[in-house]
């Protein structure tokens, strides 16, 4: 049913993968699908903010994110699952959707925190992915 499953995680937030990664791995394994694990390094937002960081900071941040992502994948029970690791850079929900499209996945599995009032007003990344992704989205609640 699925040929590719994407699970976006924040390497700095174990809650983003502790429940979603096993679910995604199980679905990928059951469907003989490739599991794409992606981490998005956010942008600075306004260009003036970037001026406060040393030159080469973004390159180092991306390399560090990839190292951490590899550690997370190595520490998870992913035996029998074909995995690919990806690091993106930009607006989190936009990069998740772009990665899903580029990698031609059928399913996105991601964690969502319990909704609070500000989530309904601002919309967390999970709700934006659910609203805008072409793929099915499986939201794992904490």
**Could you read off the pLDDT of 108-118 as tens digits, one per residue?**
999 886 656 55
Percent of the chain with pLDDT over 90: 56
DSSP annotation string for the chain: --SEEEEE--TT-GGGTTTHHHHHHHHHHHTTPEEEEEEEEPP-SSHHHHTTSPTTHHHHHHHHHHHHHHHHHHHS--TT-EEEEEEEES-HHHHHHHHHHHTT-SEEEEEEPPP-HHHHHH--HHHHHHHH-SSEEEEEE-
Note the pLDDT of residue 43.
Answer: 75
Report the distance separating Cα 46 and Cα 71, nearest Å: 31
4-141 sits in which CATH class? Answer: alpha beta
Q: What is the pLDDT of residue 46?
A: 54
**Residue boundaries of the structural domains of the chain:** 4-141
pLDDT in tens, 14-60: 888 899 999 999 999 999 999 999 999 887 655 555 556 667 777 88
* pLDDT value for 47: 58
The residue length of the chain stands at: 142
What would the pLDDT profile of 69-124 be if each residue is shown by its tens digit?
Answer: 999 999 888 889 999 999 999 899 999 999 999 999 999 999 886 656 555 543 47
Q: Is the pLDDT assigned to residue 137 strictly greater than 60? A: yes
The strand pairing partners of 89, in sequence order, are 41
């Amino acid at each position: 049913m699925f040929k590719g499953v994407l699970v976006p995680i924040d390497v700095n937030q174990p809650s983003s993968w502790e429940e979603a990664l096993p679910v995604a791995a199980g679905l990928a394994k059951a469907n003989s699908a490739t599991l794409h694990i992606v981490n998005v390094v956010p942008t600075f937002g306004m260009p003036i903010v970037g001026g406060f960081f040393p030159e080469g900071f973004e390159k180092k941040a991306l390399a560090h994110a990839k190292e951490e992502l590899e550690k997370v994948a190595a520490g998870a029970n992913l035996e029998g699952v074909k995995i690919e690791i990806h690091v993106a850079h930009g607006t989190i929900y936009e990069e998740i959707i772009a990665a899903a499209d580029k990698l031609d996945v059928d399913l996105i599995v991601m964690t969502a925190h319990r909704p609070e009032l500000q989530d309904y007003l601002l919309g967390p990344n999970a709700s934006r992915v659910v609203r805008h992704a072409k793929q099915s989205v499986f939201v794992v609640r904490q």
